Amino acid sequence: MADEEQSSNESFNLDKLKELIELMEKHDLTDVHLRHGGEQWRLRRGPQVVAAPLTAPAAYAAPAVAPAPVPAAAPEAATAAAPASNLLEIKSPIVGTFYSSPTPEDPVFVAAGSKVTQDTVVCIVEAMKVFNQITADVSGTIEEMLVANGDPVESGQVLFRVKPN
């Protein structure tokens, strides 16, 4: 048993961990997964903008408490707005709560008429107290915003429609 503890302690090298974290920061990486033999390392770090709040701000907490009306409203929203054939869609990659700005006091990331590129942050989706920045992944102009601040969203739900450049 002492040999097992020693071998597991040897595989967990804090110097390697620190070096990997520094490389992630230097190259602006958010997710690294390494595997070598029986050793496996997975590191994730969030963008500094959303890493600061550990809990949802008070103004954002209320909508997450009352999700009951949303199931009735979601099908109406999906059927009410049919996409134009030339518009691209930005969809939520996860289930969570939609936020249009980093905090209630900050300006929104984007609004109708905003120009976006593939790397433009368009919103935050909070899931299990983790604030995930969502990027446009397309270039163009925001034509439609289909969800409101604080709304619950589903994985694959259309959040924005974009007119391509």
pLDDT in tens, 107-127: 999 999 999 999 999 999 999
Rounded Cα–Cα distance for residues 150 and 77 (Å): 16
At 60-72, the pLDDT tens digits run 554 444 444 444 4
Q: Whose structure tokens read 């163009």?
A: 140
Instruction: Supply the pTM of this predicted model.
Output: 0.51
Query: In the chain, what percentage of residues exceed pLDDT 90?
Result: 45
Q: Give the domains, in start order, of the chain with CATH numbers.
A: 2-45 (no CATH), 49-164 (2.40.50.100)
Q: What is the DSSP string of 60-123?
A: HHHHHH--TTHHHHHHHHHHH-PPPTT-EEEE-SSSEEEESSSSTTSPPS--TT-EE-TT-EEE
Question: Which of 4-18, 30-44, 134-148 is predicted with the least confidence, judged by mean pLDDT?
Answer: 4-18
Condensed to tens digits (0 to 9), the pLDDT of residues 75-112 reads 444 444 555 578 999 999 999 999 999 998 999 999 99
pLDDT class for 164, splitting at 50, 70, 90? very high
